[in-house]
Amino acid sequence: MNLTNVMATTMMCASMLAVGCDAESDRPQEANEALLAEIGEDELGTQSVAPAGGATVLGVETLDVTIPASLHAQGLAVPAKLVRPKWSKAVGKRPAMLVLHGSGGLLKDPKSKADQPCSPQMEAQFVDWSDRLARLGYTVLLPSSYSARGFCDKHTDAARMPETFDDKPEQILSRLYDVDAASRYLCDRAEVDCDRMGLLGFSQGATMVMVALHWQIDHAIDWFRTNKGSEVDFKIPDVKPGRPEFKMGIAYYPGCGFDGVIPLTSGKGTPLENGFTATAPLTILHGSEDSLVTHCSTKYGPGARQIQSKWVAGELQISDIYEVTVYPGANHSFDSASSKGADAVARAAALKVTLSKLATQL
């Protein structure tokens, strides 16, 4: 996105956090707000939502799809799950969410690694999130960046990671190309309104939400290629022109250092284009006990990205749309019931924030 578009989008959405940026009548806003007001957190994800026109969500279907290699800057085909609502009648194009997994991967480990790279079943966290979003009326795409490269989990399956993906900067760059290809695939689907796509990510996937929204992503790729290209085991292609633009992003417990792909410095002597700011409203939800919070929040660490965003916005004379909320006492993966860091209070609070942002921003 160029500077003119960034400034236009930011001015248009200056009051986004309060009233939203889209006045279309078929958005899920009223339904989301009703959910927050009328049902408890434990029931979220089991309710059907009625958009304008009287259509209702009768159920959810999950499809195995492949994001074709022709859309990918590295020529890689990426398997994905497409989770979408079953409507009571035709509703036309609807908003969509691209959901990005963390370092545990999207899919469960197989019972026998000799049989297949990964189980066809998603981890419970992503079953829950995709079902919830689909029942709210969103088409949901979940690309499987790890199984596309022949392994399932960075922690339990690291031995099968290819050399082109075994370093953190390689993973950030490669997953950026995955997000780009996934956004094009999602945008091209007949049921999706390409002007109303959002991002939701967790851990490394949350880092990718932030990177994908970076206002100078083309410059960042070129900067890394020029300054650190020798550190990775593949040539670093540019992102193809004409990529779709996301309307908003929500990042659960990201690492805001970006593993060196985008510099952390800001201020005097630093080129403005090296500083991070987002092209659309960005909401970061973190835990105070998570070591990854340090570069996300000035209250809990150096907060380099928060500082950068404020600096760039000030220089461009635009609104700073970087928002971070840190839940005291919460740890990594606080929203996942199966995680050691599960935190019911933080989970419920973050879920309400997420639904509110979806209602007002998408």
CATH of the domain at 135: 3.40.50.1820
Residue 16 belongs to some domain of the structure: no
Residue 198 belongs to some domain of the structure: yes
Residue 223 belongs to some domain of the structure: yes
| pLDDT at residue 114, as a whole number | 62
169 touches 208 (CB < 8 A)? no
The per-residue DSSP string of 67-112 comes to: E-GGGSTT---EEEEEEEEEESS---SEEEEEEE--TT-SBPPPS-
CA-to-CA dists, residue 206 to 35, 73, 92, 193, angstroms: 25, 21, 30, 23
Residue 15 belongs to some domain of the structure: no
Strands 139-143 and 94-100 turn out to be parallel
Residue 83 belongs to some domain of the structure: yes
What confidence tens digit (pLDDT) does each residue in 201-220 have?
999 999 999 999 999 999 99
| pLDDT at residue 47, as a whole number | 42
Number of domains in the chain: 1
| pLDDT at residue 18, as a whole number | 30
What confidence tens digit (pLDDT) does each residue in 22-56 have?
323 333 444 444 444 433 444 444 444 445 578 89
| pLDDT at residue 146, as a whole number | 97
Domain that holds residue 130: 3-10+21-361
Residue 192 belongs to some domain of the structure: yes
Report the Cα–Cα distance between both ends of the chain, in Å, rounded.
19
* Radius of gyration, CA atoms only, the chain: 19
| pLDDT at residue 305, as a whole number | 98
Residue 26 belongs to some domain of the structure: yes
- In this prediction the pTM is 0.88
Residues of the chain where predicted confidence (pLDDT) is lower than 50: 1-5, 7-50
Name the token pair of 56. 């209702």
| pLDDT at residue 24, as a whole number | 31
